[in-house]
Amino acid sequence: MFENMQAIYLAIPLSCLFAAIVAGIFGRVIGRVGAHTITILGVATAFVLSIVVFRDVAAGNSFNGAIYTWAVSGGFPFEIGFLIDKLTATMMVVVTFVSFMVHIYSMGYMHEDAGYQRFFSYISLFTFAMLMLVMSNNFLQLFFGWEAVGLVSYLLIGFWFDRETAIFANLKAFLVNRVGDLGFLLGIACVFMYFGTLDYAAVFASAPGLVGETVSFFPGTEWNLFTVIGILLFIGAMGKSAQVPLHVWLPDSMEGPTPISALIHAATMVTAGIFMVARMSPLYELSETALSVIVIIGALTALLMALVGIVQNDIKRVVAYSTLSQLGYMTVALGVSAYSAAIFHLVTHAFFKALLFLAAGSVIIAMHHEQDMRKMGGLKNYMPITWFTALIGSLALAGVPPFAGFFSKDAIIEATHASHLFGSGFAYVAVTAGVFITALYSFRLMILTFHGNMRVDEHTRHHLKESPWTVWVPLLLLAIPSIFVGAIYMEDMLFGGFFGDAIQVRPEHDVLGQLAKEYHGATGWALLWAFFTHALKPGPLWLAIAGIAAAWFLYLEKPELPDRIRDRFRVAYDVLVRKYGFDEFYQLVFAGGARGLGRLFWKIGDVRLIDGAAVNGSARIIGWLSGVIRQVQSGYVYHYAFAMIIGVFLMMTWFLHR
Amino acid sequence: MLLESVNLSVAIWLPILGAIAILASGSDANAQRVRWLSLIVAIAEFLITIPLYTRFDKTTAAMQFTEFHTWVPAFNINYSLGIDGIAMPLILLTSFLTIIVVISAWEIIKQRVAQYMAAFLIMEGLMIGVFSALDAILFYVFWEAMLIPMFLIIGIWGGPNRIYASIKFFLYTLLGSLLMLVGFIYLYYQSGNSFSILDYHQLPLALGAQILLFFGFFAAFAVKVPMFPVHTWLPDAHTEAPTGGSVILAAIMLKMGAYGFLRFNLPILPDASHELAGFMITLSLIAIVYIALVALVQEDMKRLIAYSSISHMGFVTLGFFIFNAQGVEGGIIQMISHGFISGALFLCVGVMYDRLHSRDIKDYGGVVHRMPIFAAFMMLFAMANAGLPATSGFVGEFLVIIGAFQANVWFAVAAGTTLVFGAAYTLWMYKRVIFGKIANEKVETLTDVTPREILFLALLAFAVLLMGVWPMPFLDVMHASVDNLLEHVAQSKLP
């Protein structure tokens, strides 16, 4: 059995890699059908085997071992290996399931695209990279997966490479992520320096022994080792999981085809940072400073990005800002040590957000690639399945019981409330206010797209119809977990210690344990009931309902009201539309600054100083010096006399003050 | 079996003799025969160098495959050869890339084919000579002789500004190496009339003398690497050189300077090396950051890659002068990897240049529409240049950053900026050249890579990926030599 399991672990990522290579290199030979057949077979294999692994670890098995030694330097081995535990297995199932759905969906969505084979090759390659990331048992391979998913994201955002906006967005995404990766790599270097290994288990085991160790960045400053490691690694997470201020790439990534927005920029890749911090819980638990930073960054992201979501008119961008905001929720959960709640929200979010994106994609196909919601409306009657599944996704996102998002989001809010960490008070306000805003923009999207007057032009209206089965079957299949996964796994994942040793929380940080006490150890249906009745008290649920009601009132009952509000609060509206000016600032200071500096170094440093001075410089200097000295010999007596007086004066001054 | 009787002399002289034969028999009238003959010589040479790897003893730091013959007894100059785990991979890199250069020149060079091919084969022999010489004068002879074929390659087959570039290249490097020769003569007298490099490794030297010698060697090696601020010959030489010349220049010649630091400065002058480590590290970091920014704003693709080379070589010298195993091994790995990647990128530019006769970024745009296979290859090499994991470009940078972090956090931070800048200049160029709409009617006429071009690009792609996914075989052979080197550096040589 044990030997078999190892073969299965290997087969999961490799089936995707194999399919990606075949579809990528032999795409022209095997054709469209060949390409989607082999990649779907690959990811389906990975999904089924992931279920097998999930059942295996649920039965209590786990695995931690190397596959091969990547390199040895200075006597330290760097290995490629797998760590399979419940956290990994959960991620594997989520990744392969969503990827499987997206593969099927893409058959319909990418049907007319010239780059069909290339697309399937990329998404399979992505699945491989993401699996290597979550299955890693060491920091090095984590970084491999981390960068590899970034690469595929780059390739897919720029998939339509003749669109100027797309190839701008993919470069931007790659570079912003690289800024995060710089922090991440330094964090890894720091781990290596102090622990002498990059293996998770070894690092976690020796971590408690290094408490009190400090790192000095500037002479005279001593920083706690775990604070430094925690913040450096988190900078990487800020890039990948798009936290303020490194979030700017994610909205632009919507230039990519919609299926990959669902897979990469909502369900899986952007949650890599969340996964990473949860995986590193034994390290983060040792630094409250790092946790505070995480809470504050997460809360800012959750609130600020949700607000921008209200003013967006592009259907995909609303969902994108919603993703940013929800990633902020997960980050807040990590910061208050509710790692399990963060992963639980990651899982539920993966399902309902992928669902929402794919539903948006379905609308976009029907609308002939029109994404502006102001030109939609009343689509409900034309595309009932899309409407129905989008409604489920929106209810789950808004946190309405019994949909999946209700349980995970409520747990995060309650956990934040229970925390005593610095910054958790602010975070509690932010995530609570976020509930109202989330419900508002979600249902604004629903109403503008599916309800109200039809604003579709005559030509498009003629062709409006429900999307083909390849599109709506994945929608239905994603709707099922979006409804049930919260209720089913709530008890285990939040309170049941489902993740076991994979997530470690110190007793004084154990906010979820505190919550469990509030339910008096209820289990099963009793716990569900307790959770539900608890929500009926004044709190998040009512805010969500208020948000939905506000959306209904503003966009359906009184559609002229939003415009009046906008005019009344022009300044606030402008700030939101300009996304707080991050883009302009970065474009001016960093992109412009680097180019300006480069030009300065090149023209002045290289061309003028080094080349100019080295080639002609010596001769020129001699010529210039002789010219200067010639000036001194002017032949006028008063010049010489004046020079003498100054000389005498200087000498006397020197003697007197010596 | 013939290959069993391999020795370094054969590896040095086979391509040179082959080149003489080609020169004697070849003319443009029978160009096709010249090409095949050159390819056969290059492949035979590669096969001959393979046993240097397979029969290499990884457990020892001693010189292997040694040969010794007296040459000029009056001055105790000897024909002394031998390689360790640092030189050996560089010799294989040389013989591998020469094959690529021969294939890449196949239909492109139409004038003086025999002379062109012969120049590269002679250069191959001389470069292997540099890596295997254990006598200082022999080293010096190979070192200087190597300049001549490269001078000719730039001067004859180069671009419009080739005379300026070749003279700049020649003077820059010649000035440096003269100071190195003075250093050798000083050491000759200090060591009691010996030119043996290994004798110098044991020689006690006062700090003042060490520092002077350090700068003497520095003049030769820093120009070759090239380090800031003596780097300005490189962009000119690269832009004017024909594709093959750029490949050899970037992939092998630059490595000579770095190799010199490992063979001379570190083990012979350990105290001066420690004394001047701050200076060397500063120059390396300037190269990494300053040059990367300069690369960002280049308008000529070859010039951009040339600047990128300087920036990447900054990692090599940085790694050497932080004196730990990760740094030095990372530096050597970076040398090999940079050989593959810069070679590949220059070939990519060559592929486009052969079609459009322009190296200006603004003359391109939307190349992917006409050359999808080429675009895929270039994407791989661009990503490798940006240091993406699972390509060879990552390995060296990763090890050097990890090593630098142990020396000083800020070294690692400064070096780490290459993650952003390296990606910025490489991918921004890629975006403007490859992506986008078809920019003009010339790009419209482009045709995708031919099987011959696929062949050499695929060979390099294989090397880049192999080294990225499994660098172990490359690192394994150098451990003993690097450990030995670090012991030398740690030991004071003050009398």
Q: What is the 3-state secondary structure (H, E, C) of A401-456?
A: CCCHHHHHHHHHHHHHHHCCCCCHHHHHHHHHHHHHHHHHHHHHHHHHHHCCCCCC
Task: Report the residue from B410, B434, B470 with minimal CB separation from A70.
Answer: B470
Structure-token pair, residue A461: 């209206």
Average pLDDT in chain A: 89
In this prediction, residue A617 carries a pLDDT of: 60
Torsion of CA A151, A155, A157, A159, to 10 degrees: -170
Cα angle vertex B486, ends B480, B492, to 5°? 140
Pick among A178, A218, A610 to test the B interface (most B CBs inside 10 A): A178
Q: Return the pLDDT at B156.
A: 87
Does A75 contact B232 at a Cβ distance shorter than 8 Å? no
Q: Which two tokens stand for residue B407?
A: 């020396």
CA B123, distance to chain mean position in Å, is 13
Tell me what ipTM this predicted complex has.
Answer: 0.92
Closest chain A residue to the Cα of B230, Cα to Cα: A610
The model's pLDDT over B200-235, given as tens digits with 9 standing for 90+, comes to 988 999 999 999 999 999 989 998 888 888 888 888
User: For residue B199, what are its two tokens?
Assistant: 């004798």
Nearest to A363 by CA among A334, A344, A384: A384
Kindly compute the dihedral angle of the four CA atoms of residues B399, B404, B407, B408, in this order, to the nearest 10 degrees.
Answer: -150
How big is chain A, counted in residues?
658
Please list every residue in chain A whose beta carbon sits closer than 8 Å to the beta carbon of residue B330. 73
Residue with tokens 């003498």: A644
Summarised one tens digit per residue, pLDDT across range B65-121 is 988 988 888 889 999 999 999 999 999 999 999 999 999 988 888 888 889 999 999
What is the token pair recorded at A32? 């469209």
Residue-wise burial string across A390-411, b where 16 or more C-beta atoms lie within 10 A, e elsewhere: bbbbbbbbbbbbebbbbbbbbb
What is the model's pLDDT at position A1? 46
Q: Compute the average pLDDT of residues A366-377.
A: 87
Q: What average pLDDT does this structure show over A464-484? A: 90
User: Residue A28's pLDDT is what?
Assistant: 87
Q: What is the structure's pLDDT at A623?
A: 67
Q: Looking at residue A628, what is its pLDDT? A: 78
User: What's the token pair of residue B30?
Assistant: 């029978």
For residue B350, the model assigns a pLDDT of: 93
Whether residue A294 contacts residue A339, with contact meaning beta carbons closer than 8 Å, is answered with no
- Sequence-distant (6+) residues with CB within 8 A of A256 are A156, A157, A158, A159, A160, A166, A169, A170, A264, A265
Binary contact (A167, B435; C-beta < 8 A): yes
Alpha-carbon distance B315 to nearest alpha carbon in chain A (angstroms): 16
Angle at B185 between CA B179 and CA B191, to 5 degrees: 135
Chain A residues whose beta carbon lies within 8 Å of the beta carbon of residue B416: 182, 185-186
Confirm if A346 and A274 have CB atoms less than 8 A apart: yes
Q: Do B293 and A597 touch (CB under 8 A)?
A: yes
Would you state the structure tokens that stand for residue A100, as one six-digit string? 């499987």
Chain B residues touching residue A174 (CB < 8 angstroms): 423, 427
A74 and B CB contact within 8 Å: yes
B409 neighbourhood in chain A, CB within 8 Å: 186, 215-217
Pick the closest to residue A44 from A68, A22, A11, A2 (CA basis).
A11
- Measured between beta carbons, the chain A residues lying within 8 angstroms of B176 are none
Q: Give the pLDDT band (50/70/90) at residue A619.
A: very low
Q: Do A171 and B428 touch (CB under 8 A)?
A: yes
Query: Does any CB of chain A come closer than 8 Å to the CB of residue B296?
Result: yes
CB of B416 less than 8 A from some CB of A: yes
Q: From B305, B338, B347, B302, select the one nearest B104 (Cα to Cα).
A: B347
Q: Which residue of B has its CA nearest to A609?
A: B229
Residue among B297, B431, B435 minimizing CB distance to A598? B297
How near does any CA of chain B get to the CA of A145, in Å? 8
Chain A closest CA to B481's CA: distance in Å? 12
* Residue B290 confidence class, pLDDT cut points 50, 70, 90: very high
pLDDT tens, residue by residue, A28-72: 889 899 999 999 999 999 999 999 999 999 888 889 988 889 999
A to B CB pairs, distance under 8 Å: 128
Tell me if B293 and A217 make a contact (CB, 8 A cut-off): no
Tokens of A592: 């412009």
CB of B409 less than 8 A from some CB of A: yes
| Spatial separation of the C-alpha atoms in residues A24 and B145, rounded to whole Å | 46
Pairing of strands A63-73, A223-224: unpaired
pLDDT of res. A174? 93
Whole-structure pTM value: 0.91
Q: Is the pLDDT of residue A347 over 60?
A: yes
> How far apart are the C-alpha atoms of A540 and A561, rounded to whole Å?
25
- Note the pLDDT tens digit of each residue in B316-375: 999 999 999 999 999 999 999 999 999 999 999 999 999 999 999 999 989 999 999 999
Mean pLDDT of chain B: 91
In the prediction, which pLDDT does A615 show? 60
